[in-house]
A and B are shown apart, each in its own frame.
Chain A
Amino acid sequence: MAKLEQPIDAAQPLPVIQVVGLSKCFGSHPVLTDINLAIMPSETVCLLGPSGSGKSTLLRCMNWLERPSSGEVWLHGTQMGYQAGRKRLASEAELAKMRTRIGMVFQQFNLWSHLTVLQNVIEAPIHVQKRPKAEVVAEAEHLLAKVGLHNKLQAYPSQLSGGQKQRVAIARALAMKSDVILLDEPTSSLDPELVGEVLAVIQDLAQAGMTLVIATHEMKFAEEVASRVIFLDQGRIVESSDPKTFFAQPETARARQFLERYIHVGAI
């Protein structure tokens, strides 16, 4: 049952996202079990773990693209998926409004193929958030310049490389002025030589103080950029620590085994 107040610690600032007792099952198959975590402002949290450990599902539950089977997701004191201050489920329109506060970048980019690069970035701010077009376009041009695509404003997604598409997707998420951006394996679909350009953009965002939650298999990147690493296995949080500790002295045998495999295959 939905609670009406976010469980907070008075000594701490309010988390951007707080996940409380979240579980998700697909049919009878549990994918996430009793997940509890808080994402603090300006944190860069990397979700690590083997394929199928629930990283993507956790991100998708955070913005309710997947409805959690149980548990709660709080966004700056507002419970995702529920009407403000009530136990009733939010309508699709209310849920859509909540989602605008959480940016999402997908593994497959998911740029809208019928729109140009600029249109992809301005579409939601203009038509969902109803912001003035001139202001949004100026901001979008600035963001696209920031991700190195100032000369591709009128290009269509079909004319871009994978790395360029993902940078547009990041600019699209930024244009929403969200409280947090969730990145679901943003480099997994890229050719190895294109990974660097996307990671550099994400690194810039992290350094600029954007709150980021990143599901990734890029261990070196996580070690360099993350302020915190969360290791998932079989749908449970096994370990949550700062990256130096995690990569140098993982607490659990499962995390050690996972990291050893990455060292063994040369992924670090």
Chain B
Amino acid sequence: MSLRFDLIWEQAPAFLSGLWNTVWICAIGISLSLILGILLLLPLFSHHKVVRLPTKLLVEAARAIPFLMLAYLVYYGLPSLGLTLDSWSTAILTIVIYNAAYVADILRSAWVNLPKGQTEAARACGFTGVQLLRRIVLPQILIAAAPILGNQAIQVIRDSSFLAIITVPELTFTAKAVQADSFVPFESFITAALLYWVLCLLIEFGVQRLEWVRNFYGKA
């Protein structure tokens, strides 16, 4: 048995293109979902049940749906409702919906665990509403939740491989195409797996730095 990594080397541009697609789809999806997750915080903490409960229900529903099912729903289901998206838009929309629900829940949990005195001191100084959230609460809960958000980003990168099924030319899709073309399944998929691992290692490194930041700031 001889492994033909020389064939994989010949396909390096294709792998790099797939890797790049994975990186930018995940980067845009994670960034947008972070913004949406933050925006969901206000309705999640609203004093009005009519605002809070439906938001909570939506977040819990989005968390309960498997990533692939969500991608199918967006790609194959939405056209039935008159909304057809290409595979790129589907990829980003799926990541945003799926990840925003998790981000909102992670940040909600961090807010619940933020010492009450932090917001009390802010209220005593005249902070209120969005200003209190933006200047006092949000920086602290982002720091506190940073390692968990980092792990969630790793989860998104792993889940993004499902996007191959809806023909997004990302890393897994590229590996499939290379193995079909060159008949080197092990070499193709192990190369893709290693590239996923490198991506996750980079984020893991960032997460470890964030752990340090959290431990430093967390001792007020």
Show the binding face of A for B, using Cβ within 8 Å. 63, 65, 92-93, 95-97, 99-100, 102-104, 106, 108-114, 123-124, 127-129, 156-158, 165, 169, 172, 176
Tell me the complex Cα distance, A112–B218, Å. 10
Contact call B117/A96, Cβ cutoff below 8 A: no
Inter-subunit contact A128/B127 (CB<8 Å): yes
Residue from A97, A109, A110, A156 having most chain B Cβ neighbours under 10 A: A110
Q: Verify A158–B216 contact, CB threshold 8 A.
A: yes
Q: A114-B140, A128-B126, A158-B218 are in contact. Are A104 and B121 (CB under 8 A)?
A: yes
On whether A110 and B126 interact (CB within 8 A), knowing A127-B135, A157-B220, the answer reads no
Q: Is the CB of A123 within 8 A of B125?
A: yes
Interface residues on B, range: 20 to 34
Q: Is the CB of B219 within 8 A of A99?
A: no
Query: Which residues of B does A touch, CB under 8 Å?
Result: 115, 117-118, 120-129, 131, 135-136, 139-140, 143, 216-220
Please count the residue pairs between chain A and chain B whose beta carbons lie under 8 angstroms apart in the complex: 85
Cα distance A177–B118 in the bound complex, in angstroms: 21
Structural contact, B217 and A99, CB atoms closer than 8 A:
no
Contacts of B120 in A (CB 8 A): 65, 106, 110
Secondary structure class of chain B's binding surface, majority of residues: helix
B124 CB to closest chain A CB (Å) equals 4
5 CB-based A-B contacts, threshold 8 Å: A106-B121, A128-B127, A156-B217, A157-B219, A158-B220
Chain A residues within an 8 Å CB radius of B218: 113, 158
Instruction: Enumerate chain B residues within 8 angstroms of A95, measured Cβ to Cβ.
Output: 128
B217 lies within 8 A of A172 (CB): no
Q: Judging by beta carbons under 8 Å apart, are A104 and B217 in contact?
A: no
Rounded to whole angstroms, the CA-CA distance of A249 and B61 in the bound complex is 68
- A112 and B131 contact, CB distance less than 8 A: no
Q: How far apart sit A129 and B140, CA to CA, in the bound complex (Å)?
A: 22
User: Could you tell me the distance in whole angstroms from the C-beta of A175 to the nearest C-beta in chain B?
Assistant: 9
